[in-house]
Chain A
Amino acid sequence: MARKKREIAEINAGSMADIAFLLLIFFLVTTTMDIDKGLNRKLPPIDEEQTEQDNKIKKKNIFEVVVNANNDLLVEQEYMELTELREAAMNFIDNNGDGSCEECQGFNDPTSSDNPGKAIISVSSDRGTSYKTYVTVTNELIAAYNDLREGLSQRKFGKSVADLTEEQRDFIADVYPQIISEAEPVQIGG
């Protein structure tokens, strides 16, 4: 007798698409495309002793950036546009007044900063300054450092900072340490 093999019934996959759609819609609703990116900063610790030390820093080593309540920019006591800030900050950091920085290409202006290690950028804002202006100013100052580091990296190693080894990156960060001080908010008015 010929025995007929019984076929296993195929599972109906027609509803697979529906299930997948259901999952898809669930994920669309509960998740966001929000990418977490931003400007990393470090706040100074609260320390009373530090205020006395600050006075010893020479005036020429401080690059003063003040933003008032009308979002106007005052850099080194002069009015400035946001677009010029990066260039001015780069000139200040890279100035190398005492000649101790071998990698710098600045103007060696004796009235500006001694070397990048001593150059301090001080940002102060008014309580009425809008947050986005503050972010823009901070961004431009970080950009000034990043541009200088990128330039040095290209001259010295012939590659972009992103492609450097850990050691080379440390060297670059050593030449141009990022020193941006955020003064406590004051009433500047305007």
Chain B
Amino acid sequence: MSHIKKDKVRETPAVSTASLPDIVFMLLFFFMVATTMREVTLKVAVNKPQATEIQKLERKDLVTYIYVGTPRDETLYGTEPRVQLDDQLGTVDDVQTFVVVAREEINEAEQPLMTVSIKADGEVKMGLISDIKQELRKAQALKINYSTMPAIDAAGMIESNL
């Protein structure tokens, strides 16, 4: 007589996790390449306007950033737009010194190539921006860049900037 084998519970083999490190490393390298180190802690809220004719900033080491926007900590600094230089809030009068000091750190041959990138919030009034521009002219830092977000097309840009 044939004896019937008892049904043995078939175990499903465990999913191999051997390739997990590889996947995570892949992600890691992606983030290392695609992102940049945070230079400063933003003390002002910067919601950059959009533009279509944008150019990429080459040579990060030659770029100095000036942030303009309303302070994040309103109880401490109020709601009036402020200028942030490096890690602290400054005034327009500090811009000139700041830029000159930043330029000193670049080696002499490349100093004329220094660019000042103005990262300003879209809602900031031009009065403040113009004052900063005047200070930059006084500091002989004439290459500037208005930092913007890329827009898909002109119509989209105008609509978002209205």
Contact = CB atoms under 8 A, between A and B. Distances in A.
Interface string A15-36: 0110111011001101111111
The B contact surface, by secondary structure, is mixed
A17 B28 CA distance: 11
Interface string B4-25: 0000000000000110110011
**Interface size bracket, B side:** 35 or more
Contact of A139 (B38, B53, B138): B53
B37 A43 contact: no
B26 to A, nearest CB: 9
Given A17-B17, A39-B53, A127 B32 contact: no
A44 B125 CA distance: 21
Interface in A26-82: 27-28, 30-46, 67, 71, 82
A20 B63 CA distance: 32
Given A40-B143, A125-B126, A24 B24 contact: yes
**Interface size bracket, A side:** 35 or more
Nearest to A82: B158
A142 to B, nearest CB: 4
A21 B121 CA distance: 35
A134 B118 CA distance: 13
Given A39-B55, A41-B146, A45-B140, A83 B126 contact: no
A131 B49 contact: yes
Given A20-B28, A31-B36, A36 B126 contact: no
A131 B126 contact: yes
Contact of A21 (B24, B49, B63): B24
B148 A16 contact: no
Interface in B142-162: 142-150, 154-155, 157-158, 161-162
A136 interface: yes
15 contacts: A31-B38, A36-B147, A40-B55, A40-B144, A42-B144, A45-B137, A125-B126, A132-B122, A133-B161, A136-B157, A136-B158, A139-B157, A140-B154, A184-B130, A184-B134
Given A13-B21, A40-B144, A139-B52, 14 more contacts: A23-B28, A36-B117, A37-B147, A38-B55, A38-B146, A38-B148, A39-B51, A126-B126, A127-B127, A128-B126, A131-B49, A131-B125, A132-B49, A136-B49
Interface of B: 17-18, 20-21, 24-25, 27-28, 31-32, 34-38, 49, 51-57, 60, 63, 68, 115, 117, 120-127, 129-130, 133-134, 136-138, 140-150, 154-155, 157-158, 161-162
Interface of A: 13-14, 16-17, 19-21, 23-24, 27-28, 30-46, 67, 71, 82-83, 86, 125-136, 138-140, 142-143, 146, 182, 184-185
